[in-house]
Amino acid sequence: MILDTNGLSAFFDGERSAVSRLAEAEAVYLPVIVIGEYRFGLRASRYRRERESQLLRFARSCTVLAVLESTTSAYAVIKHTLKRAGTPIPENDIWISALAVEYGLPVLSDDEHFDAVSQVQRIPLK
């Protein structure tokens, strides 16, 4: 299962649904995009040092997914399809969706806009 940023945040916040979903997962995949978004959020957090350490430990226990040249094919198809349908989603979530398609993995997220990408299975937190 791929974690979206809100899934990662929910897990770090100890939300029961996120903790149980991750416990049930065969493997957890963390896109570099999510790491970047999470670090951006930490810039203004009073828990920055604690959460940065937590993020580093957690990332070591996951498979970190980088965007590669092979990811660009799924990205192009998804972005084109969304544009034609008039259902844009945030750019970073297109990249996360492309990784989900490339690796055939569901995405743990409460962001319903992932539902606009027909090739992606979204696992809601709640």
**Structure pTM?**
0.94
2-123, which class in CATH? alpha beta
Residues of the chain above pLDDT 70, percent = 100
What share of the chain has pLDDT > 90, as a percent? Answer: 97
- pLDDT, residue 77, reads 98
Instruction: Report the chain's mean pLDDT, rounded to a whole number.
Output: 96
Structure confidence at residue 106 (pLDDT) = 98
pLDDT tens for residues 108-125?
Answer: 999 999 999 999 999 999
Task: Inform me whether the pLDDT recorded for 126 exceeds 90.
Answer: no
Are the beta carbons of 25 and 8 closer than 8 angstroms? no
Q: Which residues 6+ apart lie within 8 Å of 29 measured at CB?
A: 1, 2, 3, 62, 63, 64, 65, 99, 103, 105
Average pLDDT for 91-116? 97
pLDDT surpassing 90 at residue 81: yes
- Between CA 41 and CA 29, with CA 98 as vertex, the angle to 5 degrees is 60
**Tens of pLDDT, residues 28-44:** 999 999 999 999 999 99
- Check residue 33 and give left, alpha or beta (phi > 0: left; psi -120 to 50: alpha): alpha
